[in-house]
Structure 1
Amino acid sequence: MRDRATARAPIVGLFLAAVAGLGWIVWTTSYAEALRQVESQGRSDLRLAADRLVTGLQRYRSLAVSLADHPALTALHAGGDRDAAKAVLLRNLDQTGALNAFYADREGRVLASAQGEVPVDLAARPWFLRAVNGALGADRGISAGAARRAYFHGVPAFGPDGKVRGVLVLVADIEALEREWSGSRPSVFFTDALNQVFVTNRSELLFWQRTDTAMIGPGGDVVGVDTRMVGDHEVWHQRLSPYVPRAALHLVQPLPVIGLTGEALVDVGPARRLAWLQTAVVAVLCLFFGSLLFLATERRRALSIANARLEGRVKDRTRDLEQANTALRREVLEREEAEAALRQAQAELVEAGKLSALGQMSAGISHELNQPLMAIRSFAENAVQFLERDRPDRTAENLTRISQMADRMARIIQNLRAFARQESVPQTRVDVTRVVAS
């Protein structure tokens, strides 16, 4: 038993290794397939978040473009009423929820402001210089006074000669845009050219700077990021926040329109659970059918062993039966020989009996034959005498008697021969009167 178990151990180990290898292949394939589905959903969510941000910022830009040529603002270049211009700016500010709006000339001097708080050194800002040159300028930053994250839209205002004579600046409130999707899934953040998080639905990630191997916080805190590639998918393993999945699919979408890059961390937990579930199902099925095959093999082996034992017993029994059969045939042959000898002895006894019976019958037969013979002799002598006396009638009578005696002797001999040869004499009618008379 122990030898058989030792012989089966390598086969069982090889089967378990094959199941483990198959499970790894199934897990890898299932995980990659599940990641493709997670990526598809994550990219949809990232595009939706990016569209919300871009659309919200574009709405402020459209307002700035439509407001740049307002008569109350253009009149400021000719000494117009600043209070009227401020009222226009403040009314639009209240309607849109922007942080601030102000109007400046080409040199960066503010002619009218809704809140009265404007960035210093305005003429040195790249986005303002771009608007002065006749293009739409935009950039992110921190609003003056409120110290809030803001997005600046600079729209040029053209004079009658077609040249830029002023710039309308509309400051959009980033936090107001974030409130619409704060805390939603997945974790989304938007980084600038320095890879610093400027917009996100996870407030704890604000102003963190991403590097290739870590995330650096505003206070200098460093959180390691282990990046692993699963096929074409980039999976982050990190501990940034309890609200950010520790194992997440990292997705990136450039947003050149607003100068930011959208990034998302999509939880891969469902994909891992699905992959493990499919792997477990395949492994259980393999182990189940392997167990059935093992049990069938063991049963077949047990049946083979029992069959071999049975065949051995049958062979032994057959050999015993053959020996018994040989002895029986020998005994039958001896009995047949004894029966033949017995039949021969019986035949000899029958013959001896016949001879004895013939010996015993010889006296009676001799008597039976002697009587006709003596009668024939007597009748023959009488016939001679009758012939000498010339009496033919009596001679004929004696000759007839001699013929009858001869027939009688012939019948006696015929009966004796039939008895000796065991022949049957055909039955005939007998004249009993004549027999009695004879």
Structure 2
Amino acid sequence: MAARALERPRRLLMAALLLGVPVAAALAAGWASSLAHEDLRDNARAQLALYNANLRAELERHAAVPLALAQDAEVRALLAYPSPAAMDRLNRKLEDIARALDALALYVMDAKGTTVAASNWNDAASFVGENFSYRPYFRMAIDQGEGHHFARGTTSLVPGYYTANRVVAENRTVGAVVLKLGFDRLERAWAPGHEKLLVTDRDGVVFITNMPSWRYHALPRRLPISLPIVPQGSSEGLDVLPWAFGGASDRIALEEDGRLRRYQLSSVAMPGGDWTLHSLTSLDPVTARAWVAGLLAAAAVAMAALTGYAVALRRVALVERIALQEESRAELERRVAAATADLRAAENELTQAVKLAALGQMSAGIAHEINQPLAAMRSFADNAVVLLERGRTDAVRANLAEIAELTDRMAAITRQLKGFARRASGTLGPVSVHAAVIQALALLESKLRRDDITVEVDLPDRPVLVMGEDVRLQQVLVNLIGNAADAMRGCPVRRLRIGLVTADGEALLSAADTGTGIAEADLPRLFAPFFTTKEAGDGLGLGLSISRGIVEDFGGSLTAANRTGKPGHGAVFTLRLKTTEQPA
């Protein structure tokens, strides 16, 4: 049964492990990868905007220098009226400014493109006297008033970014002021970042980067970006960056330390120029998130499958256990029923034996009660014969009436004995407490009279009905009254008071004596089977135990206590029984 019940859960478990786990892992990994890519793109764009702002701030910080010098009086004077003294003063001035700006060079050119003053005037590769009219930044400054260009220096061979402004004096163009900047400081600031950064010009040539090996390399022709690259010929002959494109159009693969690593490419055009800022952000976090999500999903599905299988196992085990418990309970109930029946039969036999024992103890008194009427009857009969011979028929009639009364009395005694001795029916029903008390007292009348015990009965005028069985209730009362009589034997005051009160659907029947009371040590075990305080041979110690059992069968209780709370002043036994309004 268990094997068949587990067959379907076992197949579901295998299906979940073989199909559900990989499918869940793939779906979770794909979903996590997509979310991670979106987060990476957003973070890369935000980071790229910061780098772009940083680069623009670096350029704009120096853009005002050549513009201001183009308005300088010394510069205009030198270009309008050249002299060695003016040139020397301007050389030193430019040198101081370039040093303060950390610029590569700061120089002044005349209208023909010849350098007339420079910050590097004292260097071996001085620009003074050199003609740079062919340089794009000079032509742009002369023609448009301002020029920008990135190129490698023809004299110093040091690459830099050139910013030039036209100098106008007396309403004519007299030359230009040029500032050459390097990006070493900016590249050093970029170096600690996690991204690989590079700036390309309009020809796709890298001129600023935190990857030194990429500087002056050309971008690959296949660019996964929408920004236009217009080749101008300056990238011809340059090495191309070692980028491999795979997967999505914005994914770059680079070989690093003998293995391929993937990067997210982000690009942004810089306004006001032909430059493009690029960043490469590692996709390792994306891969890691995808792996983690896949593993978690696989683990969750596997755990759910195993949990379901465990639940199925537990359910099957529970069903089997419940079946075994039901079978065991049925067997136990059968045994308990049989044992209960045996115990009930034994109890009935024991109860009957106790009643017969009580009858045996009362036999002497009963014989006396019967012998007295018999002797009286013999005397009345003898007298009747004599009176009849004398013709006194009225006296004979009176004697015969006395004999009839005595026979009624003897019949009542035997009737009470017969009723007490019969077996109980075992069926509960309404029982009159008044009748039970009167019959019990009648059975014990001779004993009470012989022991000179005064009996006080305080019963309500209206009969009180309780749930019980008349024979067994009489047995309880006979036992309690008999015990009370025995307890008062030899006491100076021998009084038995029987009282009955009702309250809250219950009847409280009490029997209080003036005997020796109950020892404190005996109270806890007073109702225990075979416990007795009488002399050996006077009792079995079963009366109170059986009486309590009978009362509890009625749904009531039987308790014992000393009248004053301590022994020596008599005891009181209280029966608590449920009342009923049904007629007997």
TM norm structure 2: 0.47
Q: Cα RMSD (Å) of the superposition?
A: 3.8
Q: Which amino acid aligns with 1:136?
A: E
Contact 2:24 2:301 in 1 (8 A): no
Distance 1:290 1:167, change over 3 A: same
Asked if residue 18 in structure 1 is aligned to residue 20 in structure 2, the reply is yes
Distance 1:59 1:269, change over 3 A: same
Q: Deviations over 1:38-97 (max 9, x none)?
A: 233322332222222222222221111111121111012222421122122111111111
Distance 1:299 1:282, change over 3 A: same
Q: Equivalent residue for 1:51?
A: 53
Asked if residue 61 in structure 1 is aligned to residue 63 in structure 2, the reply is yes
Asked if residue 168 in structure 1 is aligned to residue 177 in structure 2, the reply is yes
Q: Deviations over 1:308-358 (max 9, x none)?
A: 9999x99xxxxxxxxxxxxxxxxxxxxxxxxxxxxxxxxxxxxxxxxxxxx
Asked if residue 92 in structure 1 is aligned to residue 106 in structure 2, the reply is no
Aligned-pair distance for 1:196? Answer: 2.1
Correspondence for 1:210 among 219, 225, 245 = 219
Q: Which amino acid aligns with 2:246?
A: T
Q: Equivalent residue for 1:194?
A: 203
> Structure 2 CA distance, aligned partners of 1:181 and 1:222?
19
Q: Which amino acid aligns with 2:300?
A: L
> Structure 1 CA distance, aligned partners of 2:158 and 2:320?
87
Task: Report which of the two structures shows the higher radius of gyration computed on alpha carbons.
Answer: 1
Distance 1:220 1:165, change over 3 A: closer
Aligned-pair distance for 1:242? Answer: 5.2
Aligned-pair distance for 1:225? Answer: 1.0
Correspondence for 1:262 among 255, 261, 277 = 277
> Structure 2 CA distance, aligned partners of 1:280 and 1:181?
36
Query: Which shows bigger deviation, 217-226 or 127-136?
Result: 217-226
Asked if residue 134 in structure 1 is aligned to residue 144 in structure 2, the reply is yes
Q: Deviations over 1:401-431 (max 9, x none)?
A: xxxxxxxxxxxxxxxxxxxxxxxxxxx99xx
> Structure 2 CA distance, aligned partners of 1:201 and 1:153?
23
Aligned-pair distance for 1:127? Answer: 2.2
> Structure 2 CA distance, aligned partners of 1:166 and 1:237?
49
Asked if residue 235 in structure 1 is aligned to residue 251 in structure 2, the reply is yes
Distance 1:145 1:133, change over 3 A: closer
Q: Which amino acid aligns with 2:155?
A: G
Contact 2:218 2:241 in 1 (8 A): no
Asked if residue 246 in structure 1 is aligned to residue 258 in structure 2, the reply is no
Correspondence for 2:168 among 121, 139, 158 = 158
Q: Equivalent residue for 2:112?
A: 107
Distance 1:218 1:212, change over 3 A: closer
> Structure 2 CA distance, aligned partners of 1:251 and 1:152?
27
Aligned-pair distance for 1:244? Answer: 11
Q: Equivalent residue for 1:387?
A: none
TM norm structure 1: 0.61
Asked if residue 293 in structure 1 is aligned to residue 319 in structure 2, the reply is no
Partner of 2:204, secondary structure, is coil
Distance 1:222 1:88, change over 3 A: closer
> Structure 1 CA distance, aligned partners of 2:16 and 2:129?
73
Contact 2:214 2:241 in 1 (8 A): no
> Structure 1 CA distance, aligned partners of 2:257 and 2:205?
20
Q: Equivalent residue for 1:283?
A: 298
Contact 1:196 1:209 in 2 (8 A): yes
Correspondence for 2:87 among 82, 104, 114 = 82
Contact 1:42 1:251 in 2 (8 A): yes
> Structure 1 CA distance, aligned partners of 2:155 and 2:65?
23
> Structure 1 CA distance, aligned partners of 2:51 and 2:295?
36
Aligned-pair distance for 1:291? Answer: 0.7
Aligned-pair distance for 1:306? Answer: 9.1
Contact 1:72 1:88 in 2 (8 A): no
Q: Which amino acid aligns with 1:79?
A: P
Please give the residue correspondences for 1:22-41 in structure 2 after superposition, counting only pairs within 5 Å: 22-41=24-43
Correspondence for 2:127 among 117, 129, 136 = 117
> Structure 2 CA distance, aligned partners of 1:51 and 1:224?
26
Q: Which runs of 5+ in 1 are unaligned?
A: 315-427, 430-438
Contact 1:253 1:261 in 2 (8 A): yes
Q: Which amino acid aligns with 2:42?
A: S
Q: Deviations over 1:262-320 (max 9, x none)?
A: 11111222232233223322321221121111222344456778999999x99xxxxxx
Partner of 1:141, secondary structure, is strand
Distance 1:289 1:204, change over 3 A: same
> Structure 2 CA distance, aligned partners of 1:194 and 1:177?
22
Partner of 1:101, secondary structure, is strand
> Structure 2 CA distance, aligned partners of 1:33 and 1:39?
10
Contact 1:207 1:218 in 2 (8 A): no
Contact 1:214 1:223 in 2 (8 A): no
Q: Deviations over 1:215-253 (max 9, x none)?
A: 999885773513322xxx8332221x5599922211111
Q: Which runs of 5+ in 2 are unaligned?
A: 121-125, 225-234, 329-403, 406-584
Query: Which shows bigger deviation, 30-39 or 11-20?
Result: 11-20
Q: Which amino acid aligns with 1:46?
A: L
> Structure 2 CA distance, aligned partners of 1:168 and 1:243?
49
Aligned-pair distance for 1:18? Answer: 2.7
Distance 1:252 1:66, change over 3 A: same
Correspondence for 1:147 among 135, 157, 160 = 157
Q: Deviations over 1:182-236 (max 9, x none)?
A: 343211111122322110112122122221569999885773513322xxx8332
Contact 1:118 1:144 in 2 (8 A): no
Q: Which amino acid aligns with 2:55?
A: L
Fraction of identical pairs, as percent: 17
> Structure 2 CA distance, aligned partners of 1:128 and 1:152?
9
> Structure 2 CA distance, aligned partners of 1:164 and 1:25?
69
> Structure 2 CA distance, aligned partners of 1:119 and 1:186?
43
Q: Deviations over 1:93-121 (max 9, x none)?
A: 11111111111122212222222227966
